[in-house]
Structure 1
């Protein structure tokens, strides 16, 4: 079993690249309102929203447990609508020496494709690959799409969006 790994998934969304990327890049703190069963809060610890080098505190649920994460925005690629975060400390660091999350929004004829990549280095061979964390990211992407398209988490139409 390898200590280094990479997992990827794609989520098709109806929202435009610009709107979707804006949430992940400039307004991640809105995710707690969009997907409250997955993300409780994202707080600015140091820097400015959306800027490389900015440090954020994430409070989220994973595998039925409340978790925390301190992440730095490692890269932003405006041309390719991607953001990469690197884990600095938190619950993920208990299992992985290095952990990165990259979210890229790719335009398609109608809507977009959200490409999520996890790159990691396990602390030891008995650590499982982070498939459940990848699923958490994909599910949050679906919640964001529903919000941007005017639907709540249960699929009911929202008449007035904030």
Structure 2
């Protein structure tokens, strides 16, 4: 049986800046967050467009093992992206894991909705809170990074 999650991040940066940064995940996130992301390696495609495959290696001390994501869809105009996890230990816990980013303007800033669907291998498996929590923390960190860069 599939389950869903949906988390929101209210950010102060402009929607276009957040969207561009999410789209540049492969290059930008390991530079901004070396304590979280050791490396992101593009295995197929350009790392940002549908069909691209990228391998994410987490930094030492992060309680996650490497995963491989495949970008399924990108809608530049609507600022939406969907990816699925196609390899990694996470698939020992979940039969499937698919996530969506949706970026939109909110007041003076940006609302990012990170949502998805997953199917547990069995009922003893916990919800993916540790994984999704790292993503949300990274979005707030990205916001702080962009705001600081704006001041410089």
The residue correspondences of 1:1-162 to structure 2 (distance < 5 A) are: 3-60=1-58, 64-150=62-148, 160=152
Structure 1 gaps, min length 5: 152-157
Structure 2 gaps, min length 5: none
Alpha-carbon shift at residue 66 of structure 1 (Å): 4.8
CA distance in structure 2 between the aligned counterparts of 1:59 and 1:150, rounded to whole angstroms? 26
CA distance in structure 2 between the aligned counterparts of 1:101 and 1:29, rounded to whole angstroms? 20
Aligned in 2, Cα 1:62/1:123: closer, same or farther, shift over 3 Å? farther
Aligned in 2, Cα 1:99/1:71: closer, same or farther, shift over 3 Å? same
CA contact (8 A) 1:7 1:131 kept: no
Aligned in 2, Cα 1:50/1:138: closer, same or farther, shift over 3 Å? same
CA contact (8 A) 2:26 2:42 kept: no
CA-based RMSD of the aligned residues comes to: 2.0
CA contact (8 A) 2:73 2:83 kept: yes
Alpha-carbon shift at residue 8 of structure 1 (Å): 0.8
Structure showing the higher helix proportion among its residues: 2
Counterpart secondary structure, 2:108: coil
Runs of 4+ residues deviating >4 angstroms: none
CA distance in structure 1 between the aligned counterparts of 2:52 and 2:118, rounded to whole angstroms? 20
Q: What is the number of residues matched between the two proteins?
A: 152
